[in-house]
Structure 1
Amino acid sequence: MGDKESAPVSSQQQARAQAYAITSGKTAPEAEPSPTSRLRALFDRPQLSPGQRRIAQYLIEHLTEAAFLSITDLAERVGVSQPSVTRFAGAVGFSGYPALRERLQAIALGALAGGPGAEESGGNELQAAVDAEIENLENLRRDFADPDRLIAVGRELSASTPLTVLGLRISASLAEYFAYAARRIHPDVRLVTRSGSVAYDALLQSREAGGTWLLAFSMPRHAQETLTAVRVARSAGLRVALVTDLALGPVADEADVTFTSGTGSRLVFDSYAAPGVMAAALLQAMTDADPERTQARLEEYEQVSDQHQFFLRD
């Protein structure tokens, strides 16, 4: 509705960058952490063995069912021994499995009391898949009640020149989306979607060119190549921000900072509503970190896209 000759035309991205800057989250300091966040905080212990991490991840993913299992049933579901479950309970600060199960039941019952009633609504498998994604988004919303850490990392990613974005196998789509958008607001974004020596070359060159951060995406099934690439990045001197569904695990162990968001697993192939929002939130944090550069680059891009008619006119 504007006149091109009298005023610059702002793209939707420009308008959003101006109107929706992330604030420090102090407006909702009393927001209740999500059950998933509470479990991740409970189990976030660096001394956990790989077997204990498997137990923790099972409890996170199957809370409402697992909280009421006997030690025998839980051990069988996870594929570990009963003594392993007992040692896990001690490793996360409980006197034994009964005490841990009591805590899990309290969290599970609270989640059931406050969560959406997917079973009550009936519906088919597709609707159940949507319900699961809604729950993932609700958990992410609770995590965003205090966005200070996301804001800080967005500032670091914005300052890293070049900024390298890594996504291998199924995670490539999220990495491509992030890199495509980030190039509108950042002068040098390098996308890595191939593994092996090609990835290693790109990571080493990024560090040599002055880059300080790698943003990596790791979605299930988690690729061995992603772990290797993250280790190469760390050894080269890059810091690593990771977007994943697992707060615990070998890739998260290698990252400097991890942002976790659930994936939809009710269909044959996973869906990524919450990780997509997480990626967009990090992009927003980058735009907020350097608003002058953001505005200048978006205006320049609009001029180029208009000149070459990149887009159809609605």
Structure 2
Amino acid sequence: MGENKQDIDLMHTIQIKFPRLSKGQKLIAEYILKHYDKAAFMTAAKLGTSVGVSESTVVRFANELGFSGYPKLQKALHNLIKTKLTTVQRIELSNDFISQESALKSVLKSDMENIRATLEKINHKTFDNIVNSIFDAEKIYIIGLRSSTALSEFLGFYLSIILDNVKVISYGISDIFEQMINLTEKDFVFGIGFPRYAAKTIEALTFARSRGAKVAVLTDSLLSPLASKSDYTLIAQSNMASFVDSLVAPLSVINALIIAVGLREKDNISKTFNDLENIWKEYGVYSSKDKEEY
């Protein structure tokens, strides 16, 4: 728990402990305070080489800060980057990250790692509780803004086919709170947010809690500001050292959520899709492969 707290106060911790550090450890501290964005992607050996100390000095430095090892310190630096880096800084960082290999190969490999890490981290009981909450709710509200809009719209599109009580909250003519004005304790709110977190999403979840609604979120960490507003938190890794948010793993979790809900309503879904197929055919929603166009 102490390490989680230090993820948030890492820089402050380094500043407080600085006078008591050894000469070599002070060099590491100064480098991290100035270049934490670069240090986060260095091994202990590379960080040591960069400041002119041994790898073991770097490991002792991590211990001095209260971490059980260098990987824990590195994780804290990653969390710091995700919450504090501006888009411009992320662009500069991506130049180092992506220039190692082609953009295609490095990004696909990164997304594969995000899905693998998500599979390890995700809590199956929490996932099941969220599915149950969806069916228990009188009305389901989905909110994900900025880059997470793509995720909220996708989830809302498919859940609306399965269920008839789904509402996606979005920027529009009416204010977000006006769209949630009828929210009660019988309702369920599903929030989606990844660094950099949209302030309006956090405010909407705070409002939902004040109304007594059940709240679940899909986010990147239990330290996320969305997680502190929720009853249930699903973690999906979104690490990408670039100006683009990696939404592959979150979308995969959303796919699983849609399918889990669909399996519970499979009889109704069959009828719904039969009706939809007739409508799509009648109004030419999809192009027919039998029709040749010149």
- Asked if Structure 1 and Structure 2 have the same fold, meaning a TM-score greater than 0.5 normalized by the shorter chain, the answer is yes
Equivalences, count: 229
* Secondary structure in 2 matching 1:241: strand
- Over the aligned positions, Cα root-mean-square deviation in angstroms equals 3.6
Which string of whole-angstrom CA distances, capped at 9 and with x for unpartnered residues, describes residues 165-202 of structure 1? 11122211111111111111011211111289721122
Which string of whole-angstrom CA distances, capped at 9 and with x for unpartnered residues, describes residues 196-220 of structure 1? 972112223243xx85211111122
Structure 1 equivalent of residue 143 of structure 2: 166
Change (3 A) 1:42 1:278: farther
Residues 1:51 and 2:29 are matched in the alignment: no
Structure 1 equivalent of residue 41 of structure 2: none
Structure 1 equivalent of residue 187 of structure 2: 212
Which string of whole-angstrom CA distances, capped at 9 and with x for unpartnered residues, describes residues 90-128 of structure 1? xxxxxx6476233747999xxxxxxxxxx9xx6324421
Change (3 A) 1:293 1:42: farther
Residues 1:186 and 2:163 are matched in the alignment: yes
**Which of 243, 246, 249 is residue 224 of structure 2 equivalent to?**
249
Identity %: 17
Which structure has more relative contact order (CA 8 Å, sep 6+)? It is: 1
Structure 1 equivalent of residue 254 of structure 2: 279
Q: With structure 1 as the length reference, what TM-score do the two structures score? A: 0.61
What residue ranges of structure 2 are gaps of 5+ in the alignment? Answer: 13-26, 38-62, 76-96, 290-294
* 1:130 partner amino acid: L
**Which of 107, 110, 129 is residue 132 of structure 1 equivalent to?**
110
Change (3 A) 1:267 1:99: closer
Change (3 A) 1:308 1:206: farther
Pairwise mapping of residues 30-179 of structure 1 onto structure 2 (< 5 A)?
48=5, 51-52=8-9, 97=64, 100-102=67-69, 104=71, 123-143=101-121, 147-179=124-156
Change (3 A) 1:106 1:215: closer
* 1:189 partner amino acid: V
* Secondary structure in 1 matching 2:271: helix
CA distance in 2, matches of 1:307, 1:282: 31
CA distance in 1, matches of 2:226, 2:10: 12
Q: With structure 2 as the length reference, what TM-score do the two structures score? A: 0.65
Query: Residues 264 and 271 of structure 1 are in contact (CA less than 8 Å); yes or no, is this contact kept in structure 2?
Result: yes
* The 10-residue stretch of structure 1 (252-261 or 191-200) with the greater mean CA deviation from structure 2: 191-200
Which string of whole-angstrom CA distances, capped at 9 and with x for unpartnered residues, describes residues 68-104 of structure 1? x95665566569xxxxxxxxxxxxxxxx647623374
* 2:107 partner amino acid: A
Shift of 1:265: 2.1
